[in-house]
Amino acid sequence: SIAVLPLFRGDGNGSVLLREVSNNYRSHGFQHVMLHCKTDNPAQMLYFREGYRVTAYLKNYYRPEGDGLEMRITL
């Protein structure tokens, strides 16, 4: 899991974290990175901007809170 404290959101810190994750996986020979998030997670916009795309809708993934999304990026 990664997270950015509310005080530091909106300054590009989430993008930096996601790129570091991608760079780390790429350097180890991986071809994709996948993540899961709640369907109402505002960070989805960040994930889309960074190139992630929805690959699956996960019904009841976050029980009892609700559904989730599987998102993936090709490195």
Q: Concatenated DSSP letters for the chain?
A: -----GGGTTSSHHHHHHHHHHHHHHHTT--EEEEEEETT-TTHHHHHHTT-EEEEEEEEEETTTEEEEEEEEE-
Confidence of residue 56 (pLDDT cuts 50, 70, 90): very high
pTM: 0.89
Flag whether pLDDT at 65 surpasses 90: no
Q: Supply 70's token pair.
A: 């599987």
How much is the mean pLDDT over the chain? 96
State the greatest distance between any 2 C-alpha atoms of the chain, in Å, as a whole number. Answer: 37
In this predicted model, what pLDDT tens digit does every residue of 22-44 receive, in sequence order? 999 999 999 999 999 999 999 99
pLDDT over 90 at 1, yes or no: no
